[in-house]
């Protein structure tokens, strides 16, 4: 595995040197970091990994608050309704870019009510099968699905999730049909995968809860290139299905209107947490996430592109939230 560290993108020096940053009466109390998915999934795991280091850096307790439901929209709406005082933030997943196209009234406007802080990292999704199943490659699963349309199942963390959208594209490009089984987050889906309830659990290595190579056999990965964690695992394109390039991602967002010095200070705290050797080892190792650590502005541009790309897939494939 390639363990070369990827440097965090630097903040402008002026932003770090502003006198108001040190003078701002913040944080004035405990900080909430909303995880809009159930415990046990990748969003919850990553949030709890950063939690103690954020608390140590900011000098106040950081409380992880799980607010699952509606592919992350319920927790995100909680953030959108909070005061713009910098005491509430959220760790979001790639569904954050899909929800505006998928949910008619999520309870917030992504552009108006929220602001970007940092793209934490990215990861390919893994298409896997339980070790009790006979398939050794994605080609074998596709052949089985073509022989028996709408009988094999694949699991995702929910309707409109990146796995759901990516498999929709794969079925069109590959000419096969499988049954979607959505769950309410990575934790429940991971438990179902471990029990052998699904033919093809599909999530990131983090979302599959460390089962890959144990109870789950990996078949393919969804990125345009092979990940350093699974260098011997072919991509979907290499497995014969063209046009697939989908990376899961994790990022931190805040309430629109948070004072700029507060946002920058929280960004610095996140960056320092990501530089901790034990954090980097866990994120890039078992979780299989490539650390990005972007500026707020770079994350904003990235999110705009993701919303445009996957919103189009939702519309063109008539995908519904339920």
The alpha-carbon radius of gyration of the chain (Å, integer) is 20
193: number of Cβ within 10 Å: 27
Taking the C-alpha atoms of residue 49 and residue 35, their distance in angstroms, rounded to an integer, is 12
pLDDT at 321 over 80: no
Q: Where does 13-122+247-316 sit in CATH, by number?
A: 3.40.190.150
298: number of Cβ within 10 Å: 15
pLDDT at position 180 is 96
Mean pLDDT along residues 155-174: 92
Taking the C-alpha atoms of residue 44 and residue 235, their distance in angstroms, rounded to an integer, is 27
**How much of the chain is helix, strand and coil, in % rounded to 5?**
40, 20, 40
Q: Where are the domains of the chain?
A: 13-122+247-316, 124-221
Which region among 23-32, 87-96, 175-184, 256-265 has the lowest average model confidence (pLDDT)?
23-32
Instruction: Give 190-248 as a 3 state SS string.
Output: HHHHHCCCCCEEEEECCCCCCCECCCEEEEEECCCCCCCCCCCCCECCCCCCCCCCCEE
Given a contact cutoff of 8 angstroms between Cβ atoms, the answer to whether 120 and 250 are in contact is yes
pLDDT at 187 over 50: yes
Q: Where does 124-221 sit in CATH, by number?
A: 3.40.190.10
Question: Residue 5: what are its φ and ψ, rounded to 5°?
Answer: -75, 140
129 — alpha (psi -120 to 50), left (phi > 0) or beta?
beta
pLDDT at 12 over 80: no
186: number of Cβ within 10 Å: 29
pLDDT digits (tens, 9 = 90+) for 67-85: 998 889 999 999 999 999 9
> Sorting pLDDT into bands at 50, 70 and 90, what band is 159?
confident
> Sorting pLDDT into bands at 50, 70 and 90, what band is 8?
very low
pLDDT at 201 over 60: yes
- Does residue 3 sit in helix, strand or coil? coil
Indicate if the alpha-carbon torsion angle 62, 52, 64, 123 is positive or negative: positive
pLDDT at 99 over 70: yes
Taking the C-alpha atoms of residue 156 and residue 135, their distance in angstroms, rounded to an integer, is 19
Tell me: cis bond preceding 76? Omega within 30 of 0 counts.
Answer: no
Which region among 18-22, 165-169, 261-265, 298-302 has the lowest average model confidence (pLDDT)?
18-22
Cα first-last separation, the chain: 39
Mean pLDDT along residues 220-226: 95
Cα 279 off chain centre by: 17
For Cα atoms 238, 97, 268, give the angle at the middle one, nearest 5 degrees: 100
pLDDT at position 322 is 66
Containing 253, the helix (H) or strand (E) segment is strand 247-255
265: number of Cβ within 10 Å: 22
């Amino acid at each position: 595995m390639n363990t070369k560290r990827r440097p965090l993108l630097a903040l402008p020096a002026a932003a770090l040197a502003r006198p108001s940053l040190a003078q701002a009466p913040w944080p004035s109390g405990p900080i909430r970091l909303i995880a809009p998915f159930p415990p046990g999934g990748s969003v919850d795991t990553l949030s709890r990994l950063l939690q103690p280091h954020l608390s140590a850096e900011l000098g106040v307790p950081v409380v992880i608050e799980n607010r699952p439901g509606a592919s992350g929209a319920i927790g995100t709406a909680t953030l959108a309704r909070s005061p713009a005082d910098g005491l509430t933030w959220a760790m979001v997943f790639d569904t954050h870019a899909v929800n505006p196209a998928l949910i008619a009234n999520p309870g917030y406007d992504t552009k108006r009510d929220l602001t970007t802080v940092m793209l934490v990292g990215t990861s390919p999704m893994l298409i896997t099968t339980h070790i009790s199943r006979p398939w050794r490659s994605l080609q074998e699963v596709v052949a089985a699905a073509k022989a028996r349309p709408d009988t094999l199942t694949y699991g995702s963390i929910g309707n409109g999730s990146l796995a759901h959208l990516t498999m929709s594209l794969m079925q069109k490009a590959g000419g096969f049909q499988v049954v979607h089984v959505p769950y309410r987050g990575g934790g429940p889906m991971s438990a179902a995968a471990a029990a052998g309830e699904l033919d093809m659990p599909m999530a990131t290595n983090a979302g599959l809860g460390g089962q890959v190579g144990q109870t789950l056999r990996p078949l393919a990965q969804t990125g345009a290139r092979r990940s350093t964690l699974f260098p011997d695992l072919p991509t979907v394109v290499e497995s014969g299905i063209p046009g697939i390039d989908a990376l899961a991602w994790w990022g931190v967002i805040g309430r629109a209107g948070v004072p700029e010095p507060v946002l920058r200070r929280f960004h610095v705290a996140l960056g320092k947490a990501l530089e901790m050797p034990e954090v980097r080892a866990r994120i890039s190792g078992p979780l299989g996430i490539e650390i990005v650590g972007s500026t707020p502005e770079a994350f904003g541009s990235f999110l705009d592109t993701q919303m445009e790309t996957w919103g189009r897939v939702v519309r063109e494939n008539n995908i519904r939230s339920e």
